[in-house]
Amino acid sequence: MQRIEAHASHGGVQEVWQHRSAVLDCELRFGIYLPPQAQAGPCPVLYWLSGLTCSEQNFITKAGAQRYAAEHGLIVVAPDTSPRGADVANVDSYDLGQGAGFYLNATREPWSRHYRMHDYVVDELPALVEANFPATAARAVSGHSMGGHGALVLALRNPGRYRSVSAFSPIVAPSQVPWGEKAFGNYLGEDRAAWLEWDACALVAGAAERLPLLVDQGEADEFLATQLRPELLEQACDAAGHPLLLRRRAGYDHSYYFIASFLDEHFAHHAQALRRG
């Protein structure tokens, strides 16, 4: 691994590392914030998954997360949103290809060679973090938009892997909205039954673990009615008896202004879960 950035912040350090990913078969970067408590011993880890068009930079530079990570003694890991590189499949579109990995394992060519973000975030990245940084095996996951979809799906697909999960403006039913239909059709093929393995609304029905879902959604979000549709998650959780706290925030949009406004509450939610057991 190579450290390419280091910045003092709130008594800790915000770093960016680059490494060769065996799962993705490319070079990839991730941000990691080490709080001041990490100088004394291992700390639990919150994984943050960003949305369409983002890299590891967006969250670490816009959200103000370092303050809350330092307050609660959490390491925060923010991976890139897709594999990268000249030999990685891509198209001239913001919602498919590089910058739009959708946190799934692609099964269709040409995407299947590199686009395995689920396995990267769930397995390879935590192994790397826990082997090279003062990190415990206590993990939480959160994200925004496409990354909110990723956080929900990763938690629902991997019972016992995370102590807590939350999301801002998640794509809760990708198999039913344009962003997800485009991505899933390309990455997974035309069999819509296979799509349901990566759809939070479908997964809650058979979830083996009733991990509570915390979701914040801005009511002035320009994608609310067409791409996000939180009411579908509400209906699915009601039908399955799955715990969900869905908070609709009047006046807030899809931007990092929204995330920064309520991020402290999400950090408190995760810190409480990560301190248990």
Q: What is the mean pLDDT of residues 12-41?
A: 98
| Strand duo 164-168 + 2-9: pairing | unpaired
Burial class, 94, CB count within 10 angstroms (exposed 0-12 / middle 13-18 / buried 19+): exposed
List alpha helices for the chain, DSSP H: 57-62, 65-72, 117-119, 125-132, 146-157, 178-188, 192-195, 200-203, 230-240, 256-275
Q: CB–CB of 15/5 below 8 Å?
A: yes
Mean pLDDT of the chain: 98
The predicted pLDDT at position 276 comes to 80
Q: Tens of pLDDT along 110-169?
A: 999 999 999 999 999 999 999 999 999 999 999 999 999 999 999 999 999 999 999 999
| Strand duo 75-79 + 43-49: pairing | parallel
Tokens matching residue 84:
């990268």
Virtual torsion, Cα 153, 155, 161, 166, nearest 10 deg: 130
The predicted pLDDT at position 83 comes to 98
Q: CB–CB of 31/60 below 8 Å?
A: yes
Residue 277 pLDDT > 60: no
Cα–Cα distance between 131 and 154 in angstroms, integer?
Answer: 21
Hey, which residues are catalytic here?
145, 221, 254
| 196 CB neighbour count, 10 Å cutoff | 17
- Tokens 């269709």 map to which residue? 108
122-to-160, 247, 277 alpha-carbon distances in Å: 12, 27, 21
Q: Tens of pLDDT along 76-121?
A: 999 999 999 999 999 999 999 999 999 999 999 999 999 999 999 9
Spatial neighbors of 263 by CB under 8 A, at least 6 apart, are: 63, 64, 65, 68
Cross-strand bridge partners of residue 79: 30
Tokens matching residue 28:
């990839």
Q: What is the mean pLDDT of residues 167-193?
A: 98
> What is the rounded end-to-end Cα distance, in angstroms, of the chain?
32
Q: What percent of the chain has pLDDT over 70?
A: 100
